[in-house]
Amino acid sequence: MSLTESLKKTSLYDKHIALGAKMVPFGGWDMPVQYEGVIAEYTQTREAVSMFDISHMGEFVVVGDCVESGLDRIVTMSLEDLPVKFARYGMMLNDNGGIIDDLIIFRMEKDKWFLVVNGATTEKDLEHLKSSLNPSARIEDVSSVTAKIDVQGPLSRDVLKSIFPGIEKLEYYTFDFFNYLSKNILISRTGYTGELGYEIYLPWDSIDVLWNKILEDKRVRPAGLGARDVLRLEMGYSLYGHELSESITPIEAGLGKFVDFGKEFIGKEVLLKQKEQGVDRRIIGFVSDNRRSPRAEQAIYALDGTEVGVVTSGTFSVALQRGIGLGLVDHGVVKKEDKVLFGNEKARSEASVTSRIFYKGGSLKD
Amino acid sequence: MEIVEHLMYTKEHEWVLVDDDIATIGITDYAQSSLGDITFIELPSVDDEAEQFGEIVSVESVKAASDIFSPISGRVIEINTELETDPALINKSPYEKGWLAKIEIADKEELSNLMTAEEYENFLESSG
């Protein structure tokens, strides 16, 4: 059996092929990396609207009181004060404070929670949740029946409001249920691009009708994972398996603001200690001095040649017309505005340590 | 994929235009399409010695870095410096504005190691 035969396909697979997509393996799925080209799709998203098939993500429904069910103790964000129809980003940690996954939790009803996790970690996450939730909680894995499309870009609200009247009322990180083809579907104002945008969750078998319907609007074009990666990296957003893993904590990953220290949660002790005593390493952002892009797994060096860390993600920033990267470095060795080198034994390039938010002109909160 | 009749080609998808003793080199339409949007290029310096099928240029696309090999041996006499600020010219015009370098051919015998347009077309078809 070849590798491609063992990859999972979303229900839009045939549409991607018909649209001329280049497909690549991603977290066990055969996904579109690009259609007309990464930069064209990037620009389309920053200036108009793009639509992404993100059906590989995992989704679970948990029913139960957030504290009694044990869910609140499993995740870093606070759930008790989350209003119904609001969403919140956070992480699930192991006992050492390492990140099992990052996720968004939607409060559908007072005691009903919708969890969206990464595609490649869905099975692992489900096992962790099942073994950590209290017996009173009910959990259902709806990943195989839930498709997801992201509509992102400054014109996304204008495009979607004719199909989903009322969507214009959604604020950042809120969601609602909309009727489509006599089905109740969840749409949230969230995304991974830094632009105004929406994520649409709907039954696996109705997605192609909606995909076609949205594409009828000539302002919308499909975009692949290639553009998505440039868009997310320009915003400094983490990607599981790169900036986040079971051997890195939220403090080291620079995601402390998504941790509620006012409650009890798995891994809290380690995080508290790191907060008090500081961390040995942390994620930084850096901008290449030229058009050369850093690549994941390259080394990061101080100017004197000492190796100080590793590149976790790197790409070419279309906005800056320079290479940008995130990297895990020894804490205290490099500071903001310091010069560093990235590369390998043979060739190294200069870069400057900066804020990890590389792009600030997005329509995210418009 | 566009293939230009009067050029010669390598299996690594480079092309060469021979004009007397001077070879202009570049990458094919197939190569630029496979690489995707080219964002960075490192050209050789004038007077560098190129070796047939040896690394001569490195390019980066949004996702990856790749090496380009010289179709012919000889001294580099000119480079397309416009690519340094606008490497996307290679995507837009791989056979014309996206040329990489001009080389003073050291040994014309080496041309017999290259493919004609027809042979390259067959090569592309057979490699799927």
What CA–CA distance (Å, rounded) separates A167 from A180?
Answer: 13
* pLDDT grade for A336, boundaries at 50, 70 and 90: confident
Name every chain B residue with its beta carbon within 8 A of the beta carbon of A41: none
* pLDDT grade for A3, boundaries at 50, 70 and 90: low
What CA–CA distance (Å, rounded) separates B81 from B78?
Answer: 9
The per-residue pLDDT for range A238-261, each reduced to its tens digit, is 999 999 999 999 999 999 999 999
The per-residue pLDDT for range A85-99, each reduced to its tens digit, is 999 999 999 999 999
The per-residue pLDDT for range B76-96, each reduced to its tens digit, is 999 999 999 999 999 999 999
Instruction: Summarize the confidence of residues B55-84 as an average pLDDT.
Output: 95
Give pLDDT, residue B91: 96
Whether the predicted pLDDT of A349 surpasses 60 = yes
Whether the predicted pLDDT of A355 surpasses 70 = yes
Continuous H helices in B1-128: 29-35, 82-85, 89-92, 117-126
Can you tell me which residue has the tokens 């901008």? A287
Q: B54 burial class (0-12, 13-18, 19+ CB within 10 angstroms)?
A: exposed
* pLDDT grade for A5, boundaries at 50, 70 and 90: low
Instruction: Summarize the confidence of residues B3-23 as an average pLDDT.
Output: 97
Asked if B65 has any chain A CB less than 8 Å from its own CB, the reply is: yes
Give pLDDT, residue A335: 86
Continuous H helices in chain A: 3-6, 13-18, 38-47, 71-74, 122-132, 156-160, 207-215, 225-234, 268-277
Whether the predicted pLDDT of B104 surpasses 70 = yes
Using CB atoms, pick whichever of B36, B39, B91 lies closest to residue A291.
B39
What CA–CA distance (Å, rounded) separates A252 from B111?
Answer: 56
Mutate to test the interface with A, among B30, B39, B43, B61 (most CBs of A within 10 A): B39
Give pLDDT, residue A295: 96
Whether the predicted pLDDT of A1 surpasses 60 = no
Whether the predicted pLDDT of A2 surpasses 60 = no
Can you tell me which residue has the tokens 């050369």? A292
Using CB atoms, pick whichever of A226, A290, A292 lies closest to residue B62.
A226
* pLDDT grade for B27, boundaries at 50, 70 and 90: very high
* pLDDT grade for A4, boundaries at 50, 70 and 90: low
Which residue ranges form the domains of chain A, and what is each CATH number? 3-54+145-234 (3.30.1360.120), 280-366 (2.40.30.110)
Give pLDDT, residue B84: 94
Give pLDDT, residue B64: 86
Whether the predicted pLDDT of B53 surpasses 90 = yes
Cα-Cα-Cα-Cα torsion A131, A133, A134, A136, nearest 10 degrees, comes to -120
Mutate to test the interface with B, among A24, A232, A292, A350 (most CBs of B within 10 A): A292
The per-residue pLDDT for range B30-46, each reduced to its tens digit, is 999 999 999 999 999 99
Which residue ranges form the domains of chain B, and what is each CATH number? 8-111 (2.40.50.100)
What CA–CA distance (Å, rounded) separates A40 from A48?
Answer: 11
Element (H, E) at A246: none
Q: A53 burial class (0-12, 13-18, 19+ CB within 10 angstroms)?
A: buried
Instruction: Summarize the confidence of residues A151-169 as an average pLDDT.
Output: 97
The per-residue pLDDT for range A271-310, each reduced to its tens digit, is 999 999 999 999 999 999 999 999 999 999 999 999 999 9
Instruction: Summarize the confidence of residues A301-326 as an average pLDDT.
Output: 97
Q: Which residues of A touch B (CB under 8 A)?
A: 33-34, 37-40, 226, 229-230, 290-293, 295, 315-316, 323
Q: Where are the beta strands (DSSP E) in chain A?
A: 22-26, 29-34, 49-53, 58-63, 87-93, 99-109, 112-117, 138-141, 146-152, 175-180, 183-188, 197-203, 220-222, 281-288, 299-302, 307-317, 322-330, 339-343, 348-354
Helix/strand number for chain B, H first, E second: 4, 9
The per-residue pLDDT for range A98-128, each reduced to its tens digit, is 999 999 999 999 999 999 999 999 999 999 9
